[in-house]
Chains A and B, each alone.
Chain A
Amino acid sequence: MNITVCVKRVPDTETRIRIAEDGRDIVADGVKYVLSPYDEFAIEAALQLTEEAGTGEVTLLSFGPEATKESLRSGLALGADRAVLLKGEPTVDGWATARVLASELAGGDAGLVLFGVKAVDDDQQQVGPMVAELLERPCATSVTAMEVGDGMVTCRRAAEGGQEVIEMDLPAVATLTKGKYEPRYASLRGIMMAKRKPLIEKEAPAVEPGLVVEGLEYPPPRPDGRIVGEGGEAVGELVRLLREEAKVL
């Protein structure tokens, strides 16, 4: 079974974010970009499932600017077989992104299409299930482990208060969160081989976004904190402050 993993290039979580002068975007200069951490769980899941099955190819699919090729190569270095880049500028509108990705996935032969549960830039948490609706396939979200059986996949998902076990008929869609799939590191050989693997570039279809960013702001600074004291002796004063000043106890 072939698996397609949708991946997004996002600013590294350590990166300092600077807001551009127009107040609507961030300054891209000096920002280190990486594959969104949850997408790495999805890649790892795809690699493990195809390795277990002994057959099937893993395709990476991304909608993003030219520079995304670099991130796709890093995914190929982990062991994915090929990558497809839909060149364009994704907006904050996940529904627009979902339609772009679905247009490419619609004719594909992937038995499973995997996503990260969220991309850590805009944090919209929506593209996976939206694509599933467009493709009319079942979709399990926040999946922590998967097992492929005859014509179906069993998923464990993080639900409130516990783990849910879901069975889905194939073809299906899943969004991955942290769980069984600890991302591997690329080997030197993997990095060498990645250079020769196919990376197909296409223009992304034009889709009108339905959301407009009015402005970006830095979060208000938290009021200056204070060190109440040292060690166990400070406990009495802390509790008094929590009760009388902060009124939270």
Chain B
Amino acid sequence: MTDVLAVADAKRGTVAGVSREVVTVARTLADRLGGSVDVAVPGASGAGLAGWGADRVLQFDTGDDGGGGPAPFAAALADHVGGHGYAAVLFAATATGRDLAPRVAAGLGVSLLTDCTAVEVADGAIVVTRPVFAGKALSRVRALATPVLLSIRPNVFPPRKEPREAAVRQMSISANRTPAGYRVVGFEASRGAALDVSEATIVVSGGRGMKGPEHWHLLAGLRDAIGETAALGASRAVVDAGWRPHAEQVGQTGKTVTPKLYFAIAISGAIQHLAGMRTSGVIVAVNRDPDAPIFGVADYGIVGDAFEVVPKLADAIRELRQD
């Protein structure tokens, strides 16, 4: 049992960028164990993932445009994994992966380690590190049974190019395993949010100090200056006030983000907000209160009025881009 299965993260037919990170971690593990890497993709895409170190791409035709929800793919994965003997099965800890992984684990009757920030092989066993208690501690955990099912936190493991000639194989889904009674009947795209805050490599978050939703164009201006890798985030105070949708909330009762750069603009830095962003690469805080707790975790801070600083910051970054 040395092979590793990476489950691609695909939503609405498109393979998400985070899948490369999953394949990269699978490759690293398989190299340590001396096995090969399979990638499971719902639908007919995913051949490009061979570029990140996959030996085989398994295309699972769910046949129903995802209208049956995650259950058909989960059941097919459990069937496939049960018959193959993988050492590990890896998911992305995204909304899609979080919905899928526990169903596969239960289908197989094994435990699941979610949201891992480190994965290593120690004495032949896979040991993971995962943040617990809102990031106030890190837990090193080992699974007793195989396969080890785990999901990795997005943006933590840098994807590594490793082109291979991967074989592409079609996998069928046995209809009789499909639990009935679940139908996707609609989807409403959130307004304006092209990129989910949990997937962005740069996040511009605003807090209550922005004073009202009518000032969000300042933050949107900064995001636009940075470009399409950036997304907007918000503190809970902002979401509770109805200024921004909950999908943008960062923190314990919102999303956990790990961008390479996080801007906390007029956010005080309450423990529950830190829970969602403290593992970011670089944290920048702009706050007019020099004693705001956010400065305790920020790598760089500006003490000042967001209404003055943010437009200047957007201009400066735009200039930088033009050079």
Contact = CB atoms under 8 A, between A and B. Distances in A.
Contacts, number: 275
Interface stretch (A47-55, A121-129, A185-193): A121-129
A17 B133 contact: yes
B124 to A, nearest CB: 14
A200 interface: no
Interface in B130-154: 130-145
Contacts of B308: 231-232
A238 B141 contact: no
**Interface of chain B, main secondary structure:** mixed
Interface residues of B, number: 95
Given A123-B131, A225-B298, A226-B300, A239 B316 contact: yes
B111 A222 contact: no
Given A13-B271, A211-B113, A226-B300, A162 B187 contact: yes
B192 to A, nearest CB: 11
Contacts of B110: 95, 210
A154 B252 CA distance: 27
Interface residues of A, number: 86
B143 A169 contact: no
A166 B181 CA distance: 10
B241 to A, nearest CB: 13
Interface of A: 11, 13-14, 16-17, 19, 26, 37-38, 92-96, 98, 120-130, 132-134, 136-142, 144, 154, 158-169, 172, 177-179, 209-219, 222-223, 225-232, 234-236, 238-239, 241-243, 246, 248-249
Interface of B: 11-12, 16, 69, 71, 94-96, 98-99, 101-103, 105-107, 109-115, 127, 130-145, 179-190, 193, 196, 199, 202, 226, 239, 246-247, 249, 252-254, 260-261, 271-272, 275, 278-279, 281-285, 290, 295-305, 308-309, 312-313, 316-317, 320
